[in-house]
Every structure is written in C-alpha cells, then in structure tokens.
Chains A and B, each alone.
Chain A
C-alpha cells in the first residue's frame, strides 16, 4: 500500500497542473498569462526550503551526541539536501523562462537571482566537501557543521538581502507582492494546493532516496 500523503501529493499536483494551465487568472499588465508560472516556479522554492530545513535538522541530530556521530542522520541529511538541490534547479529553470517573458532576459542582475545562485553553489560545495573526505565519521562531522551554517546563510541570501535593495521580484525592494493583485483569490485556490502537493512529492522522492541508502548500508 502507498501512504495517503504520497497519493495526496500526486492528486494536488495534478489538480494544480490542470487548473493552473486551464483555469482563469487575473489579467495583469506585463505578466498576462505568464502568471500561471506562479503555480510551478514558487512551489519549487518552497519545496527546496522545506527539504533544506529537514536536512538542517538531520545535521543537528548527527552532532547531537557529544561522543558518537550518528551516521544514519548524516546520510539522511545528504539525501534531503540532494533532493532540495534538484528542486532548486527546477526553480531556477522555471524562473528563467518566466524572466525571459516578463523582464526580457533569462538572467538579470536582480539581487534575488544572484543570491539564489550563490545559495545553490553553497549547497554544491556541501557535496564537494562530502566527496573529498573518505573517513565516514570525519565526513559526517565536518559536513554536518557545514550544513548547519549553510541553512541560515541560505535564508539570509534568498529572503533577507533581496528585501533590503531594489529588486524585480514581487514583494521585494518596495514592489507589491502577488497578494495585492489577487483580489478574488483565484490564484490562491491553485497556488496553496500546488505548494503542498510539490512539498509532499519532494518528501516522497527524499523518502525513496533515504530507503535506498539504508538498504545499501
């Protein structure tokens, strides 16, 4: 039997795909029909953050015991971070397509874009670090410390710094957020299920990765 939350994830994402493309959206200047990408681009980042939060928690659990490093939690932290990176790449790709259609270029000098790229590289460095250490316990300890520092830096880079300067993103640098456009809540009816659905799918993928790792150990 497949767990209920996995089925729920599938149904919610399928719902968001069907109504996200065919459903009515507010007719906004510049954005026009590209606003539909809100149902795909933003949930990718939300899923990435949720997975990174779990990776962060697992890294703390790895170092929880003063004398013994918990290797099981360490491998789980790696799986969550790996899955998060996949969603981050999907978020970047969907964002680039959206940027091309609304801002005129795939990549602009927007602080949020650059910060997101730096944050992704930070997690890429986490995997480089892991692969550079052979000794299991040492690798678990050092990479857990790195991961614990990575997550707050990621939050600062993606959520705090872009709000302090001018940014093209809605809700940043004095721009109004999407909630000010969405007067009849049409976007919310699809956006919230899409976020929840993609998060569940993300955890499903991570769960499979975790179980494969446990079997190989």
Chain B
C-alpha cells in the first residue's frame, strides 16, 4: 500500500496544475471510500447468505 501511495505521489508531482494542488487526492479518497463501502456491503451480503445457506442445510 505504501508503494502504491508513494508511486501515486511521485507521478502526481509530474502532472499539471490539476494534480498539483491536491484536489485530485480528495477526489481519489472519496471514490476509494465509496468503492470500499460498496465492497463492504457485498461482504455483508456474502456473510449473511452463508449463514442462511448453513441454516438451510441443517
């Protein structure tokens, strides 16, 4: 993860104004949080389904 962040920062420093003022970091953070929440919802569904499937088997 540290490698990814370092690499991203290194690349961002080479970019134009759009990426230089840190606004893009906020955009990436927000998108990453939304995606993580969506995946969290999938994990929750997955675990609930497993419980129901186990109950069904019994």
Residues of A within 8 A of B (CB): 2, 6, 10, 13-15, 17-19, 21-24, 33, 201, 204-205, 208, 211-212, 215
Residues of B within 8 A of A (CB): 4-5, 7-9, 11-12, 14-15, 18-19, 24-25, 27-28, 31-32, 35-36, 39, 42-43, 45-47, 49, 52-53, 56
Main secondary structure of the interface of B (DSSP, over half): helix
Q: Which single member of A6, A21, A23 contacts B7 (CB below 8 Å)?
A: A23
* C-alpha spacing A212/B11, complex, angstroms: 43
**With contacts A21-B24, A22-B8, A24-B15 known, is A13 near B45, CB below 8 A?**
no
Main secondary structure of the interface of A (DSSP, over half): helix
Taking CB atoms, residues of chain A closer than 8 Å to B52 are 215
Best-buried of B24, B31, B47 by chain A (most CB within 10 Å): B31
**With contacts A23-B11, A24-B11, A215-B52 known, is A18 near B46, CB below 8 A?**
no
* C-alpha spacing A22/B12, complex, angstroms: 5
Best-buried of A6, A21, A205, A212 by chain B (most CB within 10 Å): A21
* C-alpha spacing A116/B43, complex, angstroms: 32
* C-alpha spacing A6/B45, complex, angstroms: 13
Taking CB atoms, residues of chain B closer than 8 Å to A211 are 49, 53
* C-alpha spacing A18/B31, complex, angstroms: 9
CB distance from A25 to the nearest CB of B (A): 9
CB distance from B22 to the nearest CB of A (A): 11
Shortest 5 CB-CB contacts between residues of A and residues of B: A22-B8, A24-B11, A23-B11, A22-B12, A211-B49
Taking CB atoms, residues of chain B closer than 8 Å to A19 are 4, 7-8, 11
